[in-house]
Amino acid sequence: MNNNRKKIIAGNWKMNLTLAEGITLANGIKKCITNETTQTALKNRNTEIIIAPNHLALTEVVKTTNTSSIQVAAQNVYFEPNGAYTGEVSVTMLKDIKVMHSIIGHSERRTLLGESDEQINKKLLCLIKAGMTPIFCIGETLAEREANKWTAVIRKQLELGLKDLAVEDVPKVIIAYEPVWAIGTGVSASPEQAQEVHAFIRKELHLNYGGSVGDETSILYGGSVNAKNATELFCEIDIDGALVGGASLKIDDFYTIIEAMLKQK
């Protein structure tokens, strides 16, 4: 890990948990981190904890985590401020309930719900304009990796997703590298595989935006991160944390992943 960049452990709850279950989980995480030792470690390590419940649970989870150092994120957002967009939620609505982060471009939305790079880019620009933080997901499929095409895929997703973003706004984006073949499969990328892609993303940012943008941007790894493999992933110099799915639904596992980050040298 690199000590200069912000570290992030984010839990993507996906379409799981009732409202009551979500509140219990948020309370459990809050309890685990509300002690002086953990609070000091989070501060010293410049580490942020983010949880992303479903839209219906956002308001209550924000209330539950209030005053703790947990940020609450939406799992998706629409790029128009309001209007006839049935089923969608805007940045204005999220800000109104004090939600300042949103995941965008998750591979489940790209593949199951047909979200395009163009739509993801509009969402990203809209979040930045609203002063919010996008957690922008990218990643290749197994077929693309096996055909040795991952560099081209990642380059294109970065180029299209970050299109028209001002250079100074790039480090405001949290990038999450999530190889599709590792999501929910129990087969994580190896630390070396993840590191290779993270270094590539950083280099692309450097080439496209120059200066220190590549060094300043936090890049998370996601895809079957769990209590056992978190430490070795976080040892890698370009991995700044994790976007955790399944393991973020269990308090003990999620807290162990947080601890794995806080114990890094």
Q: Catalytic residues, which ones? A: 106, 178
Q: Considering beta carbons, is residue 205 or 220 the nearer one to ligand PGA?
A: 220
One of 135, 246, 253, 262 touching ligand PGA (CB under 6 A): 246
Please report, for residues 53, 90, 117, 205, the alpha-carbon distance to residue 85 in angstroms, rounded to integers and kept in the order given: 22, 10, 19, 33
Angle, CA 162 vertex, CA 159 and CA 166 arms, to 5°: 120
Q: Considering beta carbons, is residue 103 or 262 the nearer one to ligand PGA?
A: 103
Angle, CA 91 vertex, CA 87 and CA 93 arms, to 5°: 70
- Residue 178 in contact with ligand PGA, rule: CB under 6 A: yes
Specify the DSSP class assigned to residue 170: G
Stretch that binds ligand PGA, among 87-95, 141-149, 198-206, 223-231 (CB under 6 A): 223-231
> What's the min distance (Å) between Cβ of 14 and ligand PGA?
7
Q: Considering beta carbons, is residue 105 or 171 the nearer one to ligand PGA?
A: 105
Crossing angle, helix 19-33 and helix 36-44, to 10 degrees?
80
One of 50, 61, 158, 225 touching ligand PGA (CB under 6 A): 225
- Residue 222 in contact with ligand PGA, rule: CB under 6 A: yes
The span from the CA of 170 to the CA of 163, in Å, is 10
> What's the min distance (Å) between Cβ of 186 and ligand PGA?
8
One of 57, 135, 183, 261 touching ligand PGA (CB under 6 A): 183
